[in-house]
Amino acid sequence: MTLSKDSKIYVAGHHGLVGSAIWNNLKARGYEHLVGRSHKELDLMDPIAVKKFFDEEQPDAVVLAAAHVGGIMANLNYRADFIFQNLQIQQNVIGESFRHRVKKLLFLGSTCIYPRMAEQPMKEEALLTSELEYTNEPYAIAKIAGLKMCESFGIQYGCNYVAVMPTNLYGPNDNFHLENSHVLPAMIRKVYLAKSLNERNWDAVRKDIDLRPVEGVNGSNSNEEILTELAKFGITPEAVTLWGTGKPMREFLWSEEMADASVYVLLNVDFKDTFNSDAKEIRNCHINVGTGKELSIKEVAEKVIKEIGFKGKLCWDATKPDGTPRKLTDVTKLHNLGWHHKIEIDEGIHKLYEWYKLGICINHQTV
C-alpha cells in the first residue's frame, strides 16, 4: 500500500529521539500533513483522550514511536512503570488505529526483546526461544506484546501493521541524563564534564549543569558542591568511571538512519512482505533495524575519550551491571527489503558530540 503526499500521518512521540527524526525525514520527503502532540497535549496512557484525538484527526497512517524508555538503572528501579506505561500506550494507540481503520501503522520496538543468550547475530526467529535479560525484562515484554499485537491484527483482520526492532540508538535530541540515559550519550556527557574539570574550565561545567541540573545542583552552586555531586557519577578531574566491565558487545545506529529505515518501511513494506507466505505458522513478522556491526563498550568509551580529548584515566566499576553480554542484530531481512545503513560509529560519535556542544552554546546564548 502506498501513502500519498496528501496522507495524514500521526507520529506518536514526535519530540523524542526517534520520533523527531522520523518527523523530519517525512518532511524532507514532502509529506506535509503530519500530526503530532506533546505529552502535555495528549496523554497516550489516557484511553478517552486517545479516542478523542483519533475521532478528531482521523489519521491515514500512524507511527508509534512513543514509549517510556531508559537505561539499565532506570529499567531496574522502575520495572512496574516500564511494563505498565508501555503496555497502556500500545493498547490505546494500536486499538484506536484499528477502530478508526488506519491504513498503515508502524510500531517501533527494541532489540532487547531477544533472549539474553540468543545466538549471535540475532535473527528475528530468535524471539521467545529462551529467557530475557533480567535488567530490562518488563520493558522487553511490553515491546513483545506490541509487535505481537501488530502481527495478530495482520493475521486476523488483514491490518497493514508492521513492527521494526531498532538496535541501540543515538543522535540528535538524545537524553543526556547521567543516570537514566542510554550508554553513548551518558558517556559523552561524563567525559565532557571530566575534561572540563581536568582543564579547570568551570565556565563550561556551569553551562552544562545549568542546562541539565544534576540532582538539583546547577551552575550557581559552589565548586566544592559541584565536584561532590559529579563524583557520585564517577566524574572527577582525574578520571571517568563507567559502569560494568566494558566487556559487553554492542551495536549502535545513528537515530536519523533509524528514522530513514522506519520511513522506508512505512512507505515501501507491507505486512504481507514480512513473512513467508508458504509458512504453516505466521510469526516473527517484525524487522530488525541495525548495522550488523558491533564493538565493545570499552572500545566505544575509548573512541569517545579520543573524540573529546580527555587526558585523564578511564576506570570501570565492576560492581554495576553489564546487561546483556552481546546484542548484535542480523539485518538480512532488512537488507533484502532494500535498506542499508551508511553512518559508521566514528562519524556518529563526532556528530553527536558536535550536537551536544551546540546545544549548550545555544542554550547559554538564549538565557
pLDDT at 88: 98
pLDDT at 363: 67
Dihedral sign for Cα 97, 335, 268, 69, please. Answer: positive
- Locate cell 543526556: which residue? 176
pLDDT at 240: 97
Chain segment 305-355, per-residue pLDDT in tens? 999 999 999 999 999 888 778 889 999 999 999 999 999 999 999 999 999
**Could you give the domains of the chain?**
9-172+250-294+326-344 (3.40.50.720), 183-247+296-324+351-366 (no CATH)
pLDDT at 73: 80
Grid cell listed for 152: 495478530
pLDDT at 367: 42
pLDDT along the chain (367 residues), means of 10: 92 93 97 96 98 98 93 86 97 98 97 93 97 94 98 98 95 83 90 98 96 93 97 97 94 96 98 92 97 97 98 95 87 98 97 92 61
Closest by CA to 265, choosing from 51, 3, 85, 52, is 3
Neighbours of 110 (CB within 10 A): 23
Q: What's the full length of the chain, in residues?
A: 367
- Give SS3 for 127: coil
- For 198, counting Cβ atoms within 10 Å of its Cβ (0-12 exposed, 13-18 middle, 19+ buried), the class is middle
Separation of alpha carbons 257 and 148, rounded Å:
25
Spatial contact of 172 and 255, defined as CB atoms under 8 Å apart: yes
pLDDT at 219: 94
Spatial contact of 113 and 144, defined as CB atoms under 8 Å apart: yes
Q: Please report, for residues 256, 277, 311, 337, 348, the alpha-carbon distance to residue 354 in angstroms, rounded to integers and kept in the order given.
A: 15, 46, 19, 33, 10
Q: Please report, for residues 54, 55, 109, 130, 155, the alpha-carbon distance to residue 96 in angstroms, rounded to integers and kept in the order given.
A: 7, 9, 19, 32, 18
Residues annotated catalytic, as ranges = 139
pLDDT at 308: 98
